[in-house]
Every structure is written in structure tokens, then in C-alpha cells.
Amino acid sequence: MAVSMQCQILNAFSLKKNTNNKKYQNKELSLPNSSPTKLLVHQKPYPQTKLQALANVVDDLEASVKNGIRIDDPSMFSSLLETCFRLEAVEQGIRIHRLIPTTLVRQNVGVSSKLLRLYASNGFIEEAHQVFDYMSDRNSSAFAWNSLISGYSELGLYEDALALYFQMVEEGVDPDEYTFPRVLKACGGMGLIHVGQQVHREIIRCGYGNNGFVLNGLVDMYAKCGDIVKARKVFDKIPSKDLVSWNSMLRGYVKHELLPNALFIFQRMIQDGYDPDSISISTILTSGLSQKLVTQIHGWVLRRGTEWNLPIANSLILVYSSHNKLDLARWVFDEMPERDLVSWNTIISVHKKHQNALSYFHRMLTTNISPDAITFVSVLTACAHLRMVKDGEILFSKMTETYGIVPTMEHYACLVNLYGRAGLIVEAHKVITDKMQFTAGPTVWGALLHACYVYGNVEIGEIAAENLFDLEPDNEHNFKLLLEIYGKVGRVEDVERVRVMMMSRGLGL
């Protein structure tokens, strides 16, 4: 290949990947027999960022191809794709993909594997799978399989991740230490402990029974699948625990509401010389601690100088509000030097029954952070509680038209609640019959039934109740609300009829 560039070696591109990327934080995957080659860029009289330098390289390549120069150097493409992966520059990776000859993508496992990894790690799972399907030698190592399994797991497509793992085994590709943690994550995400146990046996058979990276995945899987005792047994066997080990066990105890055990693990990790990170502190803060313990941990965080770490500050807002200390929650929020979407959603959510929710929402709109679906659930709830129907209608329209957010069941429930609390029962019912693009669920019909109970609307109340009886046949609360509706208007026979229905279902006995 001959590509003319006025250039110099950019050693920075071979530096370690940004550790903020959690997907490959523990250990970097690398292909056997492949190493990044140095990239060449135009000389500039001023410093360039790595992304700018990469863009210049791609510009030169595109210009060369346009001028009829054939570029088919696999080591160069492999190096460029490695750089895109390290810089999370998927847009540049897409441009590079267009320049790679089709035969090279199909036949060179190094190039195709790194292209697949770039797509999968950035959520372009369909593109990643397309590359995977055309690879001629994908079974030469577990690398390509691992990248695709990881991509599915990161997107929460756990069933696809597991299916790919079993296909991998069937095709005779040996899993490695990077395969199993991703597969275990999928097992935990689906709560499939029997599959997780099967994978555990395979881990032992393959000789990874003492691998800390794999054991961390086992702890997380067992905890998510409900076997906290087994999770602890695996945890105790980890020869060299790291923060991931401690955090997995800590999250497991918090998930199962075993606060004394969680506190013991938190204290033990400090005693053993491990410095809790933002995950550890956020987890313990939101575990249901007493106000006294929250204050103690907050003081400890202050002494460490990490109070304004975003996850920690966001957790403090949440935990103070759960203790009805909204003044402290507001103080933490207002003092934060920077805020993310979680910060805004948290402070809006904890005020969702107050006017302050809308004030914070309007402040949010003045920043460069856009609201998401969660934000609108909180502000629509606030409008419902404040009987601000017009404002709620405007916000619902803005959600779909301005921000392109597709309404979920929860959003429609908020809209029904908005009309229902204001006594606009007919309008609330029309949300279900005229606006919703899918069948209403219990939250939507429940909001309507409660409004009918408050305002004594028998006709629509009966419709809501009948739907709820089908959706939640064992929910005693729905029957009681209909009893109350009938009772208010003196329909004694209907009251008795509902009581008979309850008795036939074993309710209210």
C-alpha cells in the first residue's frame, strides 16, 4: 500500500484505553498475534486532540481512495480500528469500515474482530453481528464471540447473549476468562440460576475456578438470582479480592435487604485496606440506613474530599429525601459543582408532589442536559398532584413533539391521573380509548378507578374495575374501590354482588 501523508508518529494512540469506560475496565481484550501499528497524521503548528488527529488520518485515507489508490494493509486498518475503540470514536470507525475492502473484512480475522468489537462496544449490535456473520475464521479464537456476547449483555439483550454462548460451545470454540463474566451477567439479568449453575460447572471444567475476574461474575450472578448464601461462598473463595469483588457482594446484600451484612462487608473492605469507590458508597448510602449512619457516612465522605463525586452526590440527594430531609437534599443539589441527568431527575423526582419539581425542571431546560422519559414521569406526576391540567397537557405534548420521547404505559398513567385528580373523568377515560397505541395495563386502569372512587363516577368506574379484575384477579384493593363506589350511591345489590365475587376468589376473608 502506498499512501502519501506529511506525517509523524502519534505515540499517544497506543496509550492505555480511558479507564472511565466500564465495559473493558478490568482487563483489555487483545487479539493474538496482532499489535497496533503507529498512526500517521499531518503536522500541525498547534497541539491536536487525539480525535482530531484520528479524523485527519481518515480524511487522508478517504482522499487517497478517491484518487484511485488501493489501500489494503490489514495492519494499518487493525491499528486504526484499535484507536477508534480506545477513543470510543465509532463515527470514525464507520468511515474506516467503508474504506476496508470487503474481502479483507471477511478473510482477515484481526481486522474483522476489531471492527466487530468497535461496533458491539458502542451499541451497534446489528452491524457487529453482520460483521460476525461474514467472518471466514471466527472460530480461531474466542475474541469475536466475546465481543458480540458482551455487546448483547451491555444492551440488556441477555437471551441473545446466552444463545450466542451456546452456539459458541456447539461450534467447538473454547470459552476463556473474558467469555464467562459476560455470560454470567446475562444469567443474572434473566434470573436463570439453573443456567448460571451450568456455566459455573463449565468454568471449573475449563480451569477458571480460581480466576478472580470470573469469580466476581459468579458472585454477581448468584446474588442477582437470589442465592445470596452461594454468592457469599464464592466471594470467600476469591484468592485476591478487588473492588469489583467487594462491590458485587455489597450490592447483593443490599438487594436482599440484608443491611447488617452489607454494613459488615463495607466495614470489612475498609479494614482490609480497600478504598471504597463511588459504587461502594452509593450502594451503602441507598441501602436503607438510619439518619445517624447516613450523617456519619456523609461526614466520612467529606473528610475524603469525594462529596461532589456525581454518583455519591446523587445518592445523598436521594437518601436525604427518603428521610424527609428535603432541605438537605436541596442543599446538596444546589452546591454540586456539576450535575448530570441523574442529578436533575433525582431532585425533580423527590419533589414530584410539589411545585418545586416544575421549578427544577425549568432550570434544567436552561442547561445543556435534555430531559428524558424519567424526567417527564416526575413532572407529569407533579402536575397531577397540583391539579395543573393545562401545564400537564403542554408538557405531554412537548415530551413527544420536542424531545421525540415515545410515551410509555407510565406516561399514560400519569396523564390519566392528571385528568382524574382534577375530576375530568371522561377525559381520563378518553386517554385510554383514543390516545393510547397499546392495551392499557393495571397502572392506567388503576389511576382511572381511583379517580372514579374519589368523584363517584359509577359508569366509568365499572369499566375500569372490570378491566382490572381481568388483569389483576387477586388484587383485593380493586374490589374494595368498586364496593365503595357502589356504596356511595346506595346500590346495595351491586355491593353484594362484588362481595360474592371476592369470596369466590378467596379475597376479603
Kindly report, residue by residue over 277-322, the tens digit of the pLDDT: 999 999 999 999 999 999 999 999 988 888 889 999 999 999 999 9
Q: What is the pLDDT of residues 223-279, one digit of tens each?
A: 999 999 999 999 999 989 999 999 999 999 999 999 999 999 999 999 999 999 999
> For residue 47, what pLDDT is reported?
53
Compute φ and ψ for 8, nearest 5 degrees: -150, 165
The count of C-alpha atoms lying within 13 angstroms of the C-alpha of 436, restricted to the half-sphere facing its C-beta, is 22
User: Rounded CA gap, 255 and 258, in Å?
Assistant: 8
* pTM of the full structure: 0.76
Residue 12: pLDDT band with limits 50, 70, 90: very low
Give the residue among 92, 101, 138 at the shortest CA–CA distance from 119.
Answer: 92
Q: Give the residue carrying C-alpha cell 502519501.
A: 4
> What nine digits make up the cell of 414?
400519569
Task: Work out the percent of the chain whose per-residue pLDDT is above 70.
Answer: 90
The fold adopted by the segment(s) 139-240 is 1.25.40
- E-assigned strands of 92-194? none
Instruction: Check if 139-240 and 427-509 are the same fold.
Output: yes
Average pLDDT, whole number, for the chain? 88
Measure the CA–CA gap between 266 and 281, rounded to whole angstroms: 9
Domain spans of the chain? 1-136, 139-240, 255-337, 339-406, 427-509
Instruction: Indicate if the pLDDT at residue 43 is higher than 70.
Output: no
Range 45-65 average pLDDT: 82
Per-residue pLDDT averaged across 100-114, rounded? Answer: 91
Residue with cell 447483593: 252
Q: Percent helix, strand, coil in the chain (nearest 5)?
A: 70, 0, 30
22, 44 Cβ separation under 8 angstroms: no
Assign 32 a pLDDT band (cuts: 50, 70, 90): very low
Q: Which fold has domain 427-509?
A: 1.25.40
